[in-house]
Structure 1
Amino acid sequence: MSTSGPCTKFPAPGLRDPFRYITGYNDKGDSVILQSDHGDHRDIMLGGAAAQSIMYSSSGNPVDLTNNADLEFAKNNQPPVHIPNGCVVRMIDFAPGTGSELHRSIALAIGTVCEGEVELSTSDDPSMKRVLRPGDVCINRGAMHRWRNTSSNKPARMLFTMLDVKPIIINGKNLEFDMGHLMKEYAEYPEGEGPNKNA
């Protein structure tokens, strides 16, 4: 199925609504599926260029699973791009033909393509471009990068797991959090600031 317009909700037109299954324990101590749903904190991003659903987040690592403390945190807190000492699992649908500016989070970002084809580039150098297809994985270690849905009429989907990292030092200099125009999606960080700015 194809679409030619922007994302007006999550999922993007033409993509199925993904299920999330969360396991745990019942009162007897038996392993069970606690929740079957579609994720939390769904939002339109950048005026319809993309849409997101948060599949999981945690406030720390190791994660506190006792009494479902992690699930309460995830339900009640819409996460920033990543959580200091925690994790964020975010699914993003990209509208046809859309792309981002170069940006960088001070995080380990593991991105897996679920639907469509998405171009990854780390600069304007053509040799630093790759097209990722369903099942392909990008391990982004704090590098500047941009994403582009290569299709002009079909949406694309990626699943990102964002993990906190120690300050990243390259050539003796701390790298800065730089989300470019994506900063408006993460307004709790002032322009140029990041969760590890003073770490």
Structure 2
Amino acid sequence: MGSTGTEENPKSPFPDPTVFVTGHNSACKAIVQSSTVEEAKAYQGMRVSHSLIYTTSEFPPDLNEDKDIELHEKIKASGNLNIVNPGGTVIRIVNFAPYNKSMMHRTQSLDYGIVLEGEMIMELDDGSRTLMHKGDVAVQRATMHTWKNASETEWARMLFVLQDCQPVLVGGQRFKEDLGHVGYSVFPSSGNDA
């Protein structure tokens, strides 16, 4: 599959997703309240792009009076969304250029990663490498990991749902967020592990 954009920030061949948000009308019937195309945005210098689908800022979310929609729109407009939304959830679609690999990282969150297109390799800090195919799901439980597109020629796409979680203790050691960088990240620290 081809792409456009710069070599450093290529554009994936996948269409930008349309997000349909439902609600209720005055007759108490379900309706499609909005539909928005979420344009993929490049992670600077990483040959990866993402579309922010939705966020929640509390658990369980309050859907009354469209409070959840207002909070999501506020976060989206701020441009300051962290990788994890403290006290809530984030859903993103992420596109990986051929043979692209992320940094080894860990978030204080419970994440569902679903392969939508292509094949991805999930590597953990024990050295294990798991090949995931279209439709496969990883349940990341605050573990150190990296993602790599298994193909040298084709793009891959994943859907991620990140949910804030309680502090994680392993063998008596407190595991905090580690975004695999010193002084640089596409995302600022989430701050949910303080």
State the alpha-carbon separation in 1 of the partners of residues 8 and 137 from structure 2. 25
Greater fraction of residues in strand: 2
1:197 aligns with 2:185: no
State the alpha-carbon separation in 2 of the partners of residues 175 and 124 from structure 1. 15
Corresponding residue for 1:99?
101
Q: Contact 2:94/2:157 (CA < 8 Å) preserved in 1? A: yes
Q: TM-score, normalised by structure 1?
A: 0.86
Q: What is the SS of the residue equivalent to 1:186?
A: coil
CA-to-aligned-CA distance 1:34-78 (integer Å, 9 cap, x gap): 1122237x5211424111111110110110111211112212213
Q: Contact 1:3/1:155 (CA < 8 Å) preserved in 2? A: no
Letter of the 1:28 counterpart: A
Corresponding residue for 1:62?
60
Letter of the 2:123 counterpart: S
Identical amino acids, percent of aligned pairs: 29
1:28 aligns with 2:27: yes
Shift of 1:195: 2.4
Shift of 1:2: 3.5
C-alpha distance 174-110 of structure 1, shift in aligned 2 (>3 A)? same
1:37 aligns with 2:36: yes
State the alpha-carbon separation in 1 of the partners of residues 181 and 93 from structure 2. 19
Q: What is the SS of the residue equivalent to 1:143?
A: coil
Letter of the 1:197 counterpart: D
C-alpha distance 76-196 of structure 1, shift in aligned 2 (>3 A)? closer
Letter of the 2:174 counterpart: N
Q: Contact 2:108/2:193 (CA < 8 Å) preserved in 1? A: no
Corresponding residue for 1:184?
185
CA-to-aligned-CA distance 1:10-29 (integer Å, 9 cap, x gap): xx432122221111111222
Corresponding residue for 2:148?
148
Corresponding residue for 1:115?
117
Q: TM-score, normalised by structure 2?
A: 0.88
C-alpha distance 162-80 of structure 1, shift in aligned 2 (>3 A)? same
Which range is displaced more, 157-166 or 67-76? 67-76
Letter of the 2:105 counterpart: H
Shift of 1:165: 0.7
State the alpha-carbon separation in 2 of the partners of residues 56 and 32 from structure 1. 18
State the alpha-carbon separation in 2 of the partners of residues 93 and 155 from structure 1. 7
Identify unmatched segments of 5+ residues in structure 1: none
Q: What is the SS of the residue equivalent to 1:72?
A: helix
State the number of aligned residues: 187
Superposition CA RMSD, Å = 2.0
Shift of 1:3: 4.0
State the alpha-carbon separation in 2 of the partners of residues 58 and 84 from structure 1. 9
Letter of the 2:29 counterpart: D
Identify unmatched segments of 5+ residues in structure 2: none
Letter of the 2:91 counterpart: V
